[in-house]
Structure 1
Amino acid sequence: MKTRAVRLYGANDLRTEEFDLPDIKDDEILVKVVSDSICMSTYKCAILGKAHKRVPQNVDTHPTIMGHEFAGDIVKVGKKHQNEFQPGMKFAQQPALNYKGTMWSPGYSYEFFGGDCTYCIIPPEVMELGCLIPYTGRAYYEASLAEPMSCCIGAMHACFHTEMGSYIHSMGTKENGTMALLAAAGPMGMGAVDYALHSGRNPRLLVVADISKERLERASRMFSAEDAAKIGTEIHFVNIAGEDNPAALLRKYAPDGYDDVFAFAPVTSVCELASAVLGRDGCLNFFAGPTDKKFSAKLNYYDVHYNSAHVIGTTGGNMSDLKESLRLSSAGQTNPAVMVTHVGGLNVAAETTLNLPKIPGGKKLIYTHLNMPLTAISDFPKIGEKDPRFAALAEITEAHNGLWCPEAEEYLLKNCKQD
């Protein structure tokens, strides 16, 4: 079986190549990858190469397949797993394996297992850990995006609060509390907003702060104040660009500070702002992972001591978070498409990954069997003036508030040439 894949050979060395996969063993599964969304963690892996903790030291001679937010169809099943999985099944997968104390993961560590490819081999540890999930949803991209959504879900589950005189920790964000999401008008922030509003544990006040006017305007269209008010949440999108005292601005909405604060960028000013707006018994979640191992920022230790400030950090989600993500999106309670602003084919995956911070917008969604430029959804109407396929995609997405949707995916896969 031949596959075409984006492979990592070292720092800033990604190559799109065709090569042969070995025959699967009795405890392995061959899959066809349909969709993969590009994560900022993949960019970090690409620029660090061997310096990344998940990348093997022999990657220069045994390159690994990039991408970990992927979904597709099962093609062939080894004898050991034929009672549970059959060819033709759709699948989702949890890439955070944590197998026998290792940090190996698809998209970082495996020579024949990753998302930026046409076909790959699922190794036995994935089934052993229960990380390969039969998927019955309509759209492949929702299964791909279940992983980044699970990171947002896990982050909110990991927050905790206490009561004076008690050592019991109440897990999760504070129900009917106040929440601030900082540097949060990007893709992961939008996923967090979606979950915060629709998890059944919504805050009474939700403030989303960022420095990008365009991203905030898009976010306010995705999550209107009127819709939030229907479930009892007052929502504000606040531009703090150029503010001399952003903490004072955010505290106008919550004078006593916020119960839950999330920092979505590894930037000193964002982290220090998170500390400055934290209320009593507040929980600060440092969500964004830095590449600098010595990254630090000031923390108000007076608040830690006297105001019971809690500081945590989360990375990834667990199986429970992933299944919750799939359940909520399948039921239409959350819409992971709020993360997506661009779609493209495997031919642009390497370039997109290496330039991810420079490309505006949210998630970049790759359909691995297509040869297609990276295209902003907002550009569909203009491109559609010359290409009727994009005119149709523009019409479909405009009917869904400008968002990617199952109908758009089905049209794209049916009408664009696949490898």
Structure 2
Amino acid sequence: MKVKGVRLYGKDDIRLEEFELPEIKDDEILVKVMSDSICMSTWKMVKQGANHKRVPADVADHPVIIGHEFAGDIVKVGKKWQDQFKPGQKFAQQPAIPGQAESPGYSYTQCGGAATYCIFPNDIIEAGCLWTYEGDSYFESSVAEPMCCVICGYKTNYHTKDRYEHVMGTKKGGSIAILGGCGPMGLGAVSYALATDNKPAKVVVTDVDDAKLARANEVISVEEAKEKGVELIYINTADMKDPAEELKALSVDGKGFDDVFVYVPIKSVAELGNQILGYDGCMNLFAGPTDPNFSAEINLYDCHYNSTRILGSTGGSIDDMKEAINRAAKKEIKPSVMITHVGGINSIVDTTMNLPDIPGGKKLTYLQFDMPMTAIADLRNLADEDPFFNELADICDRHNGLWSAEAEQALFAHYGVK
């Protein structure tokens, strides 16, 4: 069948084009992709081309479909899987396949999210990385992948009991600092802090941009957090004379934070995260640096005498992904806080190539129609050509400026997507 999609040929070379998908084999599944959110990891892959560890060396001759944060509908099921999957079911997927480097959106010529249709091969299905779900939207499953990474970060942190017995997860009833936390991933972390079983007593979120802090408080308000039993503080560290001491004073006991997440790969921020740890505190460098020599100074005295520790986390497990989807379906978390832009398949190439220069959070794409990549706040600007976008903007306004299942369904109806 003829499909349309964006494929990688090499460094800085991605192309929207038509190509042929073969008939599926008995151990494969054909899906219709409805939504795919664009990840900074894809931009990094495009900048590296065949040098990326997940990209095949022969990508120039056998281009791969990009996009790994995707969801949609099952269309056709090979004989091997017909007892488990049925046409018409919604699918979700985990792109981090256990035991292999190959991944959807990086490594496969026929499996990726930036295409109208794609084929899941047997190795992904065998690994349990494709499953069905019940939900009222596709976009929440798309952004479940970044939420899955957030959840993994929370579970990766640990504390100690009786000196050396590790207790996994953030500290229940403790203090969490999320540094550089007003971007899409940071807001996802704030949302999860209000839902996690190890609910903290206090969450402090920092940034150096007042506008981003104000938006963060709009989409996850201090009042909402209070209703859920968490004291939430948004603060601009650029206004502080002594950020380390002033932040430590905001922790539950004033002596430092139990858990610190660093959401920007900036040396000074990483050092600040280390400085504000309390006794038995754990710092997670969540932001992935692009510089292989990225480093920062750490306090080894505190490491020894105050039992502080530093670690990093990336990706997540299948269980983390399923938790993200299930919590979103139950409205326990708000992955929509990550999304600031929406576009169609025709917007993917330019958006991906220029991703670091486009302000805002997650860029969500829908694969079954064309639409310019547009900030949710700017949807009314499209109304001159199509009055529908005033209606779409009204829907977003009713949801506190956020994307929603209602907005997604309205968009599908407008473009005739079934």
Whether TM exceeds 0.5 here: the answer is: yes
Cα distance per residue 1:89-121 (max 9 Å; x no partner): 11000110023xx21111111111110111111
Deviates more, 1:369-378 or 1:385-394: 385-394
Which residue of structure 2 lines up, in the alignment, with residue 240 of structure 1?
237
What is the aligned residue count?
416
- List structure 1 runs of 4+ shifted beyond 6 angstroms: none
Where do residues 131-146 of structure 1 align in structure 2 (5 Å cutoff)? 131-146=129-144
Quickly say closer, same or farther: Cα 1:238–1:78, change in 2 above 3 A: same
Aligned counterpart, 1:283: 282
Paired residue for 1:23? 23
Counterparts of 2:16 and 2:417 in 1: how far apart (Å)? 16
The 5 Å alignment of 1:79-158 reads: 79-99=79-99, 102-158=100-156
Check conservation: 2:249, 2:255, Cα contact below 8 A.
Answer: no
Structure 2 counterpart of 1:159, one-letter code: N
Distance in 1 of aligned mates of 2:178 and 2:88: 40
| CA RMSD after TM alignment | 1.5
Q: What SS class does the counterpart of residue 337 from structure 2 fall into? A: helix
The Cα shift of 1:134 comes to 0.5
C-alpha distance in structure 2 between counterparts of 1:191 and 1:132, whole Å: 23
Report the AA paired with residue 133 of structure 1: W
- Secondary structure of 2:279's counterpart equals strand
Aligned to 1:343: 342
The answer for the alignment partner of 2:171 in structure 1 is 174
* Contact in 2 for aligned 1:258/1:277 (Cα 8 Å): yes
Aligned residue in 1 for 2:411 = 412
SS at match of 2:399: coil
Report if the CA contact (8 A) 2:33-2:115 is conserved. yes
Q: CA deviation at 1:233?
A: 1.3
Q: What's the secondary structure of 2:284's corresponding residue? A: strand
Tell me if 1:192 matches 2:196. no
Partner of 1:313: 312
Q: Deviations over 1:47-82 (max 9, x none)?
A: 111222111111111111111000001111111111
Secondary structure, aligned partner of 2:194? helix
Name the CA distance, whole Å, in 1 between partners of 2:238 and 2:352.
27
Q: Who is 1:365 aligned against?
A: 364
Moved more, 41-50 or 244-253: 244-253
Q: Distance in 2 between matches of 1:239 and 1:62?
A: 48
Go from structure 1 to structure 2 and tell me whether the alpha carbon gap of 1:276 and 1:117 turns closer, same or farther (over 3 Å shift): same
* Whole-angstrom CA distance in 2 between matches of 1:355 and 1:382: 21
Using the TM superposition, give the Cα deviation of residue 381 of structure 1 relative to its aligned residue in structure 2, in angstroms.
Answer: 3.3
SS of residue paired to 1:157: helix
2:5 and 2:115 in contact (8 A); partners too: yes
Whole-Å separation in 2 of the counterparts to 1:370 and 1:301: 55
The percent of aligned pairs where both chains have the same amino acid is 52
Q: Within 1, Cα distance between the matches of 2:14 and 2:282?
A: 39
Unaligned runs of 5+ residues in structure 1 are: none
CA distance in 1, matches of 2:298, 2:129: 37
Equivalent residue of 1:16, what SS? strand
**1:298 offset after TM fit, Å?**
1.2
Q: Confirm or deny that 1:14 pairs with 2:14.
A: yes
CA distance in 2, matches of 1:47, 1:241: 32
- Output one character per residue of 1:122-179: Cα deviation in whole Å (capped at 9) or x when no partner: 010111011111021110001111111111011101110013x432111100011000
Match among 206, 211, 214 for residue 208 of structure 2: 211
* Secondary structure at 1:162 match in 2: strand
**Mean Cα deviation higher: 363-372 or 55-64:** 55-64
**Aligned partners of 2:238 and 2:40: how far apart in 1?**
23
**TM-score calculated relative to the size of structure 1:** 0.96
Q: Quick one: which amino acid aligns to residue 106 of structure 1?
A: P
**Structure 2 SS opposite 1:57:** coil
Cα 1:298/1:396, change in 2 over 3 Å: same
Structure 2 length normalisation: TM-score? 0.96
Deviation at 1:228, TM superposition (A): 1.2
Tell me the equivalent position of 1:201. Answer: 198
Distance 1:352 1:247 in 2: 37
Q: Could you tell me which amino acid in structure 2 is paired with residue 328 of structure 1?
A: R
The Cα shift of 1:310 comes to 1.6
CA contact (8 A) 2:380 2:393 kept: yes
Q: Which letter maps to 1:67? A: G
**Residue in 2 that maps onto 1:66:** 66
CA distance in 1, matches of 2:45, 2:237: 30
Q: Matches of 1:17 and 1:301 in 2, distance apart?
A: 53
Report if aligned partners of 1:371, 1:418 keep a CA contact under 8 Å in 2. no
